């Protein structure tokens, strides 16, 4: 009976040993993806050059094909940058280690069975001398005991190596990028979805809350957003035009940093370049270093609500598709539904955010079928969490009056 070669190590072995040439298959898939990418480019060119706009060419060339191409690029990035690494670690490191564990566990069992089967002969002969048979028994027992201990150490070492490799593979899972969902102004049921293309269904209205917020209408739905030096709708256009979001390959594992860049830029009226963001330059984390952390949602909701009323976006810790593994995501809160009268009214469907995954404004809880990510506040390690602008940053760079409440 196996002592060390048990689950999950047995599952690792059974899965990987029967996986065949996983690395080679992924390389072949990468080649096929490149061929498909070339085909998509050709299709896009043919559609753009056509003259049958009355049949929907603008929708194809302007939204559908680009959306397919974006998701195709996401597949390529996931395969080449992450899945290939995971496969390499699994086949070239984890499988050899788990194989050694399997073989050594079998050796351990063999030694233990032999040791347990030893039977001590008569120790003394009729003259009171130790018999040669007994001496041989003692020698063999000591030898097997030593071998058993050595085998045990090897098994424990192989287990440790397997655990380390499996942990490295699982950590790469967080680098997988989410797919984008192409949204339309109406879904199939005829219900309006959130679409912040400034050329379609978006208007900016009067200032409210003492000038600290702006009233905006998005496809007939009214929201209040922080009245920053660059309003969130204009800043979204900057993000989209320059590919300043994770699905465009920027700061894929650094949602905290990217969401802080958004808030800092909107507050002080700057457009941080893609190169600066990619290099993690500019010190945005120091400027968004105020925070609230609590095991209850209420203090965090109150914080983001009060900051929005004061005309300031915040960074909020929320769920992602792998939150069941303990992973979080961060978004930039820019406002809320105009029906909200108190922080107690805030729900995921009433909190308006600029999500750094796709660089689009949407409600936090917006359905995936409507182009959202169905997020909610996330309790990581026992706490909900939000970050905001420091008083020093506000005084020196935003209000420039020497006081953070101007």
- Read off the pLDDT of residues 282-323 as tens digits, 9 standing for 90 and up: 788 899 999 999 999 999 999 999 999 999 999 999 998 888
- Read off the pLDDT of residues 49-103 as tens digits, 9 standing for 90 and up: 554 444 455 555 555 666 666 665 666 666 666 777 788 888 888 989 999 999 9
Query: Is residue 215 situated within a structural domain?
Result: no
Instruction: Clarify whether residues 169 and 266 are in a common domain.
Output: no
Instruction: Clarify whether residues 159 and 235 are in a common domain.
Output: no
Cβ partners under 8 Å of residue 26, min gap 6? 79, 83, 84, 87
Query: Is residue 403 situated within a structural domain?
Result: no
Distance CA(214)–CA(202), nearest Å, equals: 13
Q: Which of 138, 158, 173 is the last residue before a domain boundary?
A: 173
Instruction: Clarify whether residues 299 and 371 are in a common domain.
Output: yes
Domain range spanning residue 60? 9-173
Distance CA(308)–CA(345), nearest Å, equals: 14
Instruction: Clarify whether residues 250 and 166 are in a common domain.
Output: no
Residue 262 confidence class, pLDDT cut points 50, 70, 90: very high
User: Per the structure, how many domains does the chain have?
Assistant: 2
**What is the per-residue pLDDT for 62?**
55
Query: Is-contact 72 179, C-beta < 8 A?
Result: no
Instruction: Clarify whether residues 252 and 128 are in a common domain.
Output: no
> Which of the two residues, 85 and 200, has the higher pLDDT score?
85
The token pair that represents 165 in the structure block: 């490799």
Helix/strand/coil (H/E/C) assignment for every residue in the chain: CCCCCCCCHHHHHHHHHCCCCHHHHHHHHHHHHHHHHHHHHHHHHHHHCCCCHHHCHHHHHHHHHHHHHHHHHHHHHHHHHHHHHHHHHHHHHHHHHHHHHHHHHHHHHHHHHHHHCCCCCCCECCCCCECHHHHHHHHHHHHHHHHHHHHHHHHHHHHHHHHHHHHHHHHHHHHCCCCCCCCCCECCCCCECCCCCCCCCEEEEEEECCCCEEEEEECCEEEEEECCCCCHHHHHHHHHHHCCCHHHCCCCCCHHHHHHHHHHHHHHCCCCCHHHHHCCCCCHHHHCCEEEEECCHHHHHHHHHHHHHCCCCEEEEECCCCHHHCCCEEEEEEEEECCCCCHHHCCCCCEEEEECCCCEEEECCCCHHHCCCCCCECCECCEEEEEECCHHHHHHHHCCCCCCCC
Query: Is residue 4 situated within a structural domain?
Result: no
**What is the per-residue pLDDT for 190?**
34
Residue 36 confidence class, pLDDT cut points 50, 70, 90: low
Instruction: Clarify whether residues 277 and 128 are in a common domain.
Output: no
Instruction: Using the predicted structure, report yes or no on whether residue 188 has a pLDDT greater than 50.
Output: no
Instruction: Clarify whether residues 272 and 138 are in a common domain.
Output: no
Instruction: Clarify whether residues 14 and 112 are in a common domain.
Output: yes
- Read off the pLDDT of residues 367-405 as tens digits, 9 standing for 90 and up: 988 889 999 999 998 999 999 999 999 999 998 876 555
Instruction: Clarify whether residues 128 and 239 are in a common domain.
Output: no
Query: Is residue 308 situated within a structural domain?
Result: yes
**What is the per-residue pLDDT for 134?**
93
Instruction: Clarify whether residues 22 and 168 are in a common domain.
Output: yes
Query: Is residue 237 situated within a structural domain?
Result: yes
Instruction: Clarify whether residues 251 and 391 are in a common domain.
Output: yes
Instruction: Using the predicted structure, report yes or no on whether residue 186 has a pLDDT greater than 90.
Output: no
Instruction: Using the predicted structure, report yes or no on whether residue 331 has a pLDDT greater than 60.
Output: yes
If you average pLDDT over residues 157-173, what whole number do you get?
85
Query: Is-contact 371 181, C-beta < 8 A?
Result: yes
Instruction: Clarify whether residues 151 and 263 are in a common domain.
Output: no
> Which of the two residues, 12 and 199, has the higher pLDDT score?
12
**What is the per-residue pLDDT for 257?**
93
Query: Is residue 351 situated within a structural domain?
Result: yes
Q: Which of 173, 193, 219 is the last residue before a domain boundary?
A: 173
Q: Average pLDDT over the chain, rounded to whole?
A: 83
Percentage of residues in the chain having pLDDT higher than 90: 53
Q: Which of 173, 190, 219 is the last residue before a domain boundary?
A: 173
Query: Is residue 208 situated within a structural domain?
Result: no
Residue 182 confidence class, pLDDT cut points 50, 70, 90: very low
**What is the per-residue pLDDT for 187?**
36
**What is the per-residue pLDDT for 220?**
82
Query: Is-contact 131 124, C-beta < 8 A?
Result: yes
What's the predicted TM-score (pTM) here?
A: 0.54
> Which of the two residues, 107 and 87, has the higher pLDDT score?
107
Picking from 62-76, 163-177, 249-263, which range would have the lowest pLDDT averaged per residue?
Answer: 62-76
């Amino acid at each position: 009976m196996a002592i060390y070669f048990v689950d999950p190590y047995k599952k690792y072995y059974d899965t990987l040993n029967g996986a065949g040439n996983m690395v080679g298959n992924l390389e072949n898939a990468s080649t096929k993806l490149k061929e498909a990418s070339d085909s998509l480019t050709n299709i896009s060119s043919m559609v753009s050059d056509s003259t049958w706009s009355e049949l929907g060419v603008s929708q194809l060339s302007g939204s559908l094909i680009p959306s397919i191409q974006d998701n195709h690029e996401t597949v390529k990035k996931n395969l080449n940058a992450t899945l290939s690494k995971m496969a390499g670690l699994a086949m070239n490191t984890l499988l050899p280690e788990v194989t050694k564990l399997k073989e050594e566990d079998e050796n351990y069992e063999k030694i233990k069975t032999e040791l347990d089967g030893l039977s001590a002969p008569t120790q003394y002969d009729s003259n009171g001398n130790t018999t040669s048979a007994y001496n041989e028994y003692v020698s063999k027992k000591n030898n097997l005991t030593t071998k058993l201990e050595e085998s045990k150490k090897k098994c424990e070492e192989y287990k440790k190596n397997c655990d380390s490799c499996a942990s490295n593979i699982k950590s790469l899972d967080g680098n997988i990028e989410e797919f984008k969902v192409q949204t339309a102004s109406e879904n199939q049921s005829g219900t309006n979805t959130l679409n912040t293309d400034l050329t379609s269904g978006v208007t900016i209205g009067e200032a409210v809350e003492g000038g600290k917020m702006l009233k905006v209408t998005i496809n007939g739905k009214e929201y209040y957003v922080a009245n920053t030096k660059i309003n969130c709708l204009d800043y979204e256009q900057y993000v989209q035009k320059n590919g300043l979001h994770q699905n465009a390959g920027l700061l894929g594992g650094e949602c905290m940093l990217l969401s802080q860049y958004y808030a800092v830029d909107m507050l002080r009226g700057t457009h941080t370049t893609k190169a600066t963001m990619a290099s993690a330059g500019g010190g945005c984390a120091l400027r968004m270093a105020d925070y609230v952390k609590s095991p209850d949602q209420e203090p965090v909701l109150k914080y983001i609500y009060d900051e929005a009323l004061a005309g300031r976006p915040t960074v909020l810790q929320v769920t992602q598709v792998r939150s069941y593994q303990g992973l979080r995501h961060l978004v930039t809160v820019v406002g809320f539904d105009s029906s909200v009268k108190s922080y107690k009214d805030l729900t995921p469907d009433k909190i308006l955010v600029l999500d750094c995954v796709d660089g689009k404004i949407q409600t936090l809880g917006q359905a995936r079928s409507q182009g959202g990510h169905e997020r909610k506040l996330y309790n990581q390690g026992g706490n909900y969490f939000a970050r905001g602008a420091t008083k020093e940053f506000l005084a020196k760079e935003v209000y420039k009056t020497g006081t953070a409440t101007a």
